[in-house]
């Protein structure tokens, strides 16, 4: 007799059924109570059967899958960013000609080789052999990692040509003969760079300043340098005035005879000097006119009216000079700076400065100029750049 044919009541065979809680889901899945869940895990006794339709359950499963995929992608994307994120580096921002913002992370160590980058690329004349570069620049000391100061920084600005300091008593751009520089990192890093560029040099110790200069900047052994420069103007070292000659017929004024590649010959007449300041154009250049906001690169010679003695000459020194044309500091000759404004680059001019526009009643004993002396300057304006 089969079990099905046996009378109802006591079971034919008494057997102990396994508890569902002790059976893993692959072995046992209670039917009708999974509520559409995957994995076949039973509900807790207090849970109620799902009231969702098959379509609703399917929709819920799809949403759960999408959320899971998005989470996985987010985690993967975050991991990828962390692995491939940009390494810390020296950052220089800001417009050309304005003071740059320089950030040197303390978490990185200076490299052992010269690194040259351009944050702004210009299209003007390039720095090369026998050129002069008018630069506005900043110098930063960059100590090796682990040599931080009290604030935790490994870098410090030690010179800014825009700011007055003990190392820079007269703020303003500086004119450098790059091909003659003894600092190997500056020479190699600036050569070939064009006027209008902002150049960032990371200079290792073996290409930096000599020990004496390093000491002035507060550099210690092993310190690197970050040099940030705006190349304002590039001028050939043999540049001179060129343009249209302007004849002077006033016999009461000095005569000027050009000498190719040399200081012009100046002859001062044996008469009393003019009582007021005089600005006479001898050669009119073709470049843009200078302004109060410019720094002019010039060759010049200064002579004393009456004796004809030369008291200063860039030609004799062998290199042009750069002068900001804004109002000069106390002790300088205001007429010299005022007289070079509103003149075309490439011009040669004569400035005649009475004491009131020169050194005043005190004169300049060191230069042999008395308080009653009138001085004469012959100036070649080789170029100019806006710096104000």
Q: What is the pLDDT of residue 155?
A: 87
One domain, residues 153 and 200: yes
Residue tagged 């110098």 (tokens):
139
Q: What is the CATH number of the domain that holds 321?
A: 3.10.50.40
Residue 56 lies in a domain: no
Listed in sequence order, the residues at least 6 apart from 118 whose beta carbon sits closer than 8 Å to its beta carbon are 193, 197, 198, 199, 200
From first to last of the 388 residues of the chain, give the pLDDT tens digit: 444 444 444 444 443 434 434 433 334 333 332 334 344 443 344 444 455 566 666 666 667 666 666 565 556 555 554 444 445 689 999 999 999 999 998 888 899 999 999 999 999 999 999 999 999 999 999 988 766 555 556 789 999 999 999 999 989 999 999 999 999 999 999 999 999 999 999 999 999 999 999 999 999 889 999 999 999 999 999 999 999 999 999 999 999 999 988 999 999 999 999 999 999 999 999 999 999 999 999 999 999 999 999 999 999 999 999 999 998 888 899 999 999 999 999 999 999 999 999 999 999 999 999 999 999 999 999 999 999 7
Q: Is 83 helix (H, G, I), strand (E, B) or coil?
A: helix
Whether 335 is in a domain gets the answer yes
| Same-domain check for residues 283 and 377 | yes
pLDDT of residue 250: 95
- What whole-number distance in Å separates Cα of residue 314 and Cα of residue 237? 12
Domain check: are 116 and 232 in the same one? Answer: yes
Q: Quick one: tokens of 351? A: 């400035």
- Is 68 a member of any domain? no
Q: What is the pLDDT of residue 261?
A: 86
Q: Which of 184, 204, 236 is the last residue of a domain?
A: 236
Do 128 and 162 lie in one domain? The reply is yes
Count other C-beta atoms under 10 Å from residue 370's C-beta: 14
285 & 209 share domain:
no
Q: What is the pLDDT of residue 152?
A: 53
Domain-terminating residue out of 236, 267, 286: 236
Strand partners, 230: 136, 198
Note the pLDDT of residue 54: 66
pLDDT number for residue 55: 67
Place of tokens 């506005």: 136
In a domain, 74, yes or no: no
Estimate to the nearest angstrom the gap between the alpha carbon of 152 and the chain centroid: 23
CA distances from 173 to 21, 297, 362 (A): 86, 10, 29
Q: Is 248 in the same domain as 230?
A: no
Q: What residue numbers bound the domain in which 271 lies?
A: 244-386
Tokens representing 338? 């005022």
pLDDT of residue 39: 44
Q: Is residue 20 part of a domain?
A: no
Residue 232 shares a structural domain with residue 321: no
Tell whether 52 is covered by a domain. no
> Which residue(s) pair with 300 in the sheet?
379
pLDDT for res 108: 86
Are 230 and 96 in a shared domain? yes
Is 271 found in the same domain as 357?
Answer: yes
Residue 280 domain-assigned? yes
Q: Do both 232 and 100 map to the same domain?
A: yes
Q: Are residues 209 and 288 in the same domain?
A: no
Burial of 312 (0-12, 13-18, 19+ CB in 10 A): middle
Q: By C-alpha distance, which of 57, 33, 52, 36 is closest to 44? A: 33
283 beta partners: 245, 348
In a domain, 27, yes or no: no
Verify that 206 and 261 share a domain, yes or no.
no
Q: Which of 183, 218, 236 is the last residue in one of the domains? A: 236
- Among 349, 314, 352, 323, smallest CA distance to 335 is for 352
pTM score over 0.85 = no
Residue 125: strand, helix, or coil:
coil
**Structural domain tally of the chain?**
2
């Amino acid at each position: 007799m089969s079990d099905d044919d046996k009378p109802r009541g006591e079971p034919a065979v008494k057997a102990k059924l396994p508890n569902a809680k002790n059976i893993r889901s692959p072995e046992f899945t209670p039917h009708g109570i999974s509520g559409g869940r995957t994995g076949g895990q039973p509900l807790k006794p207090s849970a109620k059967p799902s009231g969702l339709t098959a379509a609703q359950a399917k929709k819920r499963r799809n949403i759960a899958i999408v959320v899971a995929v998005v989470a996985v992608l987010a985690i993967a994307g975050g991991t990828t960013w962390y692995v491939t994120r940009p390494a810390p580096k020296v950052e220089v921002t800001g417009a050309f000609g304005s003071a740059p913002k320089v950030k040197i992370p303390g978490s990185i160590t200076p490299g052992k080789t010269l690194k040259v980058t351009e944050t702004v690329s210009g299209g003007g004349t390039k720095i090369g052999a026998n050129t002069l570069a008018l630069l506005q620049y900043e110098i930063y000391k960059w100590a090796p990692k682990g040599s931080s100061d009290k604030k935790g920084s490994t870098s410090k600005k030690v010179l800014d040509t825009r700011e007055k300091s003990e190392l820079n008593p007269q703020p303003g751009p500086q004119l450098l003969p790059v091909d003659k520089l003894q600092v190997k990192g500056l020479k190699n890093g600036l050569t070939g760079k064009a006027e209008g560029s902002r150049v960032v040099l990371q200079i290792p110790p073996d290409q930096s300043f000599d020990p004496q200069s390093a000491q002035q900047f507060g550099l210690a052994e092993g310190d690197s340098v970050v040099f940030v420069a705006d190349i304002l103007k590039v001028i050939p070292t043999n540049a001179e005035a060129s343009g249209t000659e302007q004849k002077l017929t006033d016999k009461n004024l000095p005569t000027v005879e050009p000498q190719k590649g040399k200081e012009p010959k100046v002859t001062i007449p044996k008469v009393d000097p003019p009582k007021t300041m005089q600005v006479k154009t001898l050669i009119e250049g073709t470049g843009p006119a200078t302004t109060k906001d410019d720094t002019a690169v010039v060759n010049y010679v200064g002579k004393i009216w009456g004796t004809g003695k030369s008291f200063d000459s860039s030609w004799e020194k062998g290199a042009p000079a750069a002068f900001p044309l804004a109002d000069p500091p106390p002790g300088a000759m205001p007429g010299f700076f005022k007289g070079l404004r509103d003149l075309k680059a490439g011009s040669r001019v004569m400035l005649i400065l009475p004491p009131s526009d020169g050194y005043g009643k005190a004169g300049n004993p060191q230069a042999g100029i008395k308080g009653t002396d009138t001085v004469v300057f012959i100036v070649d304006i080789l170029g100019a750049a806006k710096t104000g």
